[in-house]
Structure 1
Amino acid sequence: MKKLILIVAVVFALFSCEQNDYLVDGGVSDAKVEMTTMEFIKSHPQLDTVAILIDRAGLADEVNGNSTLFVANNLSVRRYVDKVLTELRKEDPLAEYTINDIPTDTLTKYMGGYIFPERITRDDLVKEGAIYTAINGEQRRISLEPQLDGETGYGDQLSSAPGYVYYTYKDGDEWDEWDNVTNDTRVIVRTSNIISTNGIIHVLQGSHTLFNFDIDE
């Protein structure tokens, strides 16, 4: 009986360690990637479709400049393609639409909204946000907002509330009061502050639709 209790205790201890491993600080990770921004997104299986679209838009040089890229992932592209296809099939049930069907002028016009001609890092950001102008002339409000303790889901396991970077579209001709901004125009950054050999990369959440198509349609 004592042996059984000992075995159960050991198994429980090992299981507990595995369950809480994500709480163990593994040290400071290196944000630098030894490649250009384009090389990085081309090599990443969740971002490589966006790299193709940037090339088609003729914006690779801008991405590889001293710039910041807020990059949508492949799921965001798929969401865009699916929404366009849904609209087309209202007129033609047999319609087809793929990334190859996205017009080049659409890519050139809207892909530039993710590229900023300056380095924007987490250290540059504040809760209230600042307005930045993308290379296509569109404005975005970029902010670093702390998550309230009750919203993190970690209880008292964190010594301070984590901060999340947000990439926010302007809804209308003027910026609304900050408190009136809705989640329809805000995109959370899933991974921030990746430092390439030429600039900064922030990866947007996959729930984002490329070009924020929900707003534009």
Structure 2
Amino acid sequence: MKKILFIGLLAVLMMACKKDYIIGGTRNETNKVNMTTYEFLKSQEITQSVARLFERANLINEINGDVTLISPNQYSVNRYLRRINNRRLRLDPRATLWTVEDIPVEDLQQLKMYVVRGKYTSNELNSEGIKLATLNGTDSVLLALRESTAEPAAAWDGSNVSGAGYQYPNFMQTIPKKVFVHFKRGANWETTGEQRAALGYDNPECDQVYQMYLSDVETTTGVVHILYVGNYNFNEHYYYHTLFFLGTRADDLL
């Protein structure tokens, strides 16, 4: 069965590499959309809740400026709410569960950590990356274009063991490059995975690095990259982002 599934996956990927292969609609050769950054977020199911948070934070003008948005996604928001609600339920099993409408507006000012001034697509990036200050004035990120050996969700099995059969080099002649973001969270940059693992991913000082689900969307006002998405059962993995880095894996469980 595993062999059949792998052959099926290989066939799909080979078709997807053809230039004339289109999934879900017409091709956008330029990566440009005729809408503002805020309108684009509202138009995508994966970022509609994020658009609402920017709206509640009164930050629409900021994201519609000459900026690059490293956007969280629906699952980032879901995981934030899951952790908040688990904390509330531990204190009071009858507590009312929060939704996106209940996140305090003052807390939503942290959304500035996902915005940098200027427009940065993959054309402006390299493997070393560019360090950039965010709009909140206290955080820094590094944007880079690097080879991606696998999709995060397919790269590991339930025991955090690399799923070698899903590694791109095993069935592709060219390893794809993707936009990565490195969030600096403490006093120092943890530049390697070994440094981050030694510090501990749940440590609030530990940097976090993610690849993108979608990159290089050029709106009429700026550029949008969307962080990698996951599903509800992501408490064992660190490649899924939690909005504002709230909590730890312990908060994923009630």
Question: For this structure pair, what is the TM-score category when the shorter chain's length is used for normalisation?
Answer: 0.7 to 0.9
**Which secondary structure does the structure 2 equivalent of 1:99 belong to?**
coil
Q: CA deviation at 1:100?
A: 1.3
Q: Residue 172 of structure 1 corresponds to which residue in structure 2? A: 186
Whole-angstrom distance in 2 between the partners of 1:147 and 1:74: 23
- Residue type of the partner of 2:104? P
Asked whether the 8 Å contact 1:64–1:199 carries over to 2, the reply is yes
Higher radius of gyration, 1 or 2: 1
Among 4, 11, 16, the alignment partner of 1:22 is 16
Asked whether the 8 Å contact 1:128–1:178 carries over to 2, the reply is no
Asked whether the 8 Å contact 1:126–1:145 carries over to 2, the reply is yes
| Inter-CA distance 54–25: structure 2 relative to 1 (3 Å threshold) | same
User: So what's the TM-score if we normalise by structure 2?
Assistant: 0.71
Q: Residue 168 of structure 2 corresponds to which residue in structure 1? A: 153
User: So what's the TM-score if we normalise by structure 1?
Assistant: 0.82
1:79 aligns with 2:79: yes
Q: CA deviation at 1:65?
A: 0.6
Q: Residue 208 of structure 1 corresponds to which residue in structure 2? A: 241
1:144-200 Cα shifts (integer Å, max 9, x gaps): 111359874353533x32112111122321213446453841121111100001110
Q: Which moved more, 1:21-30 or 1:182-191?
A: 21-30
| Inter-CA distance 180–170: structure 2 relative to 1 (3 Å threshold) | farther
Among 181, 187, 190, the alignment partner of 2:210 is 187
Q: CA deviation at 1:24?
A: 1.8
Q: Which moved more, 1:165-174 or 1:134-143?
A: 165-174
- Residue type of the partner of 2:100? I
RMSD of aligned alpha carbons: 2.7
Q: Residue 122 of structure 2 corresponds to which residue in structure 1? A: 122
State the aligned residue count: 200
- Percent of aligned pairs with the same amino acid: 28
